[in-house]
Structure 1
Amino acid sequence: MSHLAIAGLQLDLQAGDNLDRIADEVAAAKRRLSWVDLVLLGELSVYGPSVDHAQDPGGAAETRLRRIARDNGVWLLGGSIFERVDGKVYNTCPVIDPNGDVVLKYRKIYPFRPYETGVAAGTECMTFDMPGIGRIGVSICYDMWFPETTRTLAWMGAEVILHPGMTNTVDRDVELSIARASAAQNQCYFVDINTAGQLGNGRSAVYGPGGEPVYEAGSGRDVIGLELDLGYVRRVRERGWHGLGQTLKSFRDGPPSFPPYREGPSSPALAALGPLEKPRGGANQDQKEG
């Protein structure tokens, strides 16, 4: 059977340069958990949420992350960094192999608008193959609120979704519900690693292909070392979780398309919602002005 040995690092980070801390934490995790193949951190762990830290491709942050992966002999997803390309800034997650080579760069498709300002949207779902293990998909934070992103990764063959997040708001509990549902609907492992400390409220979680909780963290620093059985994913997809729904087969054999995708994402009902903008004042003011 194929197993993915993973360490999710829920770190209590602050806004600013966290590269030295990340280097120390990855090295410590590898020393303690020598069997780990891949290390995953929360979104924007390197510098925090300010686009002022945006770098050109191959910049200092990417170079340092490549060295950290190579020095520790692990696949590394250091959360994400803001990357400037052709005059646009993207929230980018580089996937780095144990040789220190960047195998892909995933750009967040759904920036958290209207709050994540000045950040362009990526356009492509991405997976990568780990030799002898399986196919892995990448998603960033707000992406998972749009089920099309996770379903596309499953359609592409992803058996594990790696999902760095940076959430410090009251909807974290809702996010965990989405993560769990995403795992069950797509019969995959969903690995949701949040930041802690100043940048996030933690509560990282890993769910299995039946939606079952594998691990749920608290709010502080945590090193989540797990072995994920991808043979189990394949069996669940073939037979159903405990012999129940064969969800991906039913999706494959169902209607060829649904109206939002056949006719476009807009509709009279959605157009009536108005522009995507920050709420104005309190609820009473919105009602009065609306």
Structure 2
Amino acid sequence: MTPFAIAGIQMHIAAHNNIDAIRHRVDLLMHLYPWVQMIVLSELAPFGPLLEHAQELPGPAEEPFQALARKHRVWMCTGSMFERCEGAIYNTSSVINPDGEVVGRHRKVFPFFPFESGVTPGEDFLLFDVPDVGRFAVLICFDMWFPETTRTVTAMGAEVILHPVLTHTIDRDVELSMAQANAAMFQCYVFDINGLGAGGNGQSCVVDPSGRYLHKSLTNEEFIPIEIDLDVVRRQRETGMRGLGQTLKSFRDRRVDLTVYDRNRWNHPYLDTLGKLVKPCQGSVAAAGTPGLRNKGEA
């Protein structure tokens, strides 16, 4: 076995500074479950979902989490916070090791456009190694709606995906299915941690490399401490998901060169018929492929 204990925190998030509330819950979590080695918060948990609370990174915004990591000798995934950098705003997750060092940051590659307007997409992926344990990656919320993101990080060796989300919408059931599907497709653990209140409608989940739920939360505050075994990932990838499809090796040995993301090699006239990436308006009549029709108010 290669055991490692990770705890998600599903908690009420206000639309302002939540640092003290997070500190209280981390201290309580570690009092109750001192065997936990990594803590994962939900998307935008530290300062809420308003762009006006964007922070500069590196900077003081990370310091409370660095102190908590040192105090409890745990890895910390801050969920994410809006980062202000050179006139742009990113949705950024920081990962901190037990020495309180920031080992990396992931900027959300797919902001939830058009609803997350004003946020600039990131361009890189974050992978980090926990010594003698395994390789981890961070994807933020809408990132996982695009399987190419999970394929990218697992092709780089990620065995556990930390997936902070902020979902308060009626598609949460679909997101849970996606977390399960990604875990199965790529034989990895997925820690999908949502918030409450301004931070989401809860229903966090943890899925194992065979696509089975290890835990599904309801809509109350909850600590989710789970010990995983990285050897399960390695065995599933060697012999196949539940002893069946060996998808990572099948992708490696593919005979078809998939060009869908290569803008220079792939023609996408159908996608061009779908119209602009804007919020629908009342009485919207726009239809894909219908010339002359558009949303009310669209120039």
TM-score bucket of the superposed structures, by smaller chain? over 0.9
Residue 60 of structure 1: CA displacement? 2.5
CA distance in structure 1 between the aligned counterparts of 2:125 and 2:272, rounded to whole angstroms: 26
What does 1:98-247 align with in structure 2 at a 5 Å threshold?
A: 98-247=98-247
Residues 97 and 186 of structure 1: CA distance in aligned 2, closer, same or farther (over 3 Å): same
Corresponding letter in the other structure for 1:243:
G
CA distance in structure 2 between the aligned counterparts of 1:99 and 1:286, rounded to whole angstroms: 54
Over the matched positions of the two proteins, sequence identity in percent amounts to: 47
| Structure 2 runs not aligned, ≥5 long | 295-299
User: What per-residue deviation string (whole Å, max 9, x for no partner) do you get for residues 70-111 of structure 1?
Assistant: 112110012111111121111110000111100001100001
Q: Which runs of 4+ in 1 moved over 6 A?
A: none
Q: Find out whether 1:274 has 2:270 as its counterpart.
A: no
Could you say what secondary structure the match of 2:183 adopts? Answer: helix
Which of the pair is proportionally richer in helix? 1
CA distance in structure 2 between the aligned counterparts of 1:224 and 1:282, rounded to whole angstroms: 43
Paired residues, what number?
289
Residue 27 of structure 1: CA displacement? 1.1
State the match for 2:297 in structure 1: none
State the match for 1:11 in structure 2: 11
Could you say what secondary structure the match of 1:260 adopts? Answer: coil
Corresponding letter in the other structure for 2:73:
G
Q: Find out whether 1:70 has 2:70 as its counterpart.
A: yes
Residue 18 of structure 1: CA displacement? 0.4
TM-score using structure 2 length: 0.93
Could you say what secondary structure the match of 1:27 adopts? Answer: helix
Residue 49 of structure 1: CA displacement? 0.8
**More deviation, 50-59/143-152:** 50-59
Whether the aligned pair in 2 keeps the contact of 1:83 and 1:90 (CA below 8 Å) is yes
User: What per-residue deviation string (whole Å, max 9, x for no partner) do you get for residues 122-155 of structure 1?
Assistant: 0011210000110001100000001110110100
Residue 264 of structure 1: CA displacement? 5.1
CA distance in structure 2 between the aligned counterparts of 1:32 and 1:282, rounded to whole angstroms: 52
Corresponding letter in the other structure for 1:51:
L
Residue 241 of structure 1: CA displacement? 2.7
Could you say what secondary structure the match of 2:181 adopts? Answer: helix
Whether the aligned pair in 1 keeps the contact of 2:43 and 2:199 (CA below 8 Å) is no
TM-score using structure 1 length: 0.96
CA distance in structure 2 between the aligned counterparts of 1:115 and 1:264, rounded to whole angstroms: 30
Whether the aligned pair in 1 keeps the contact of 2:42 and 2:199 (CA below 8 Å) is no
Aligned-residue RMSD, C-alpha: 1.5
Whether the aligned pair in 2 keeps the contact of 1:11 and 1:222 (CA below 8 Å) is yes
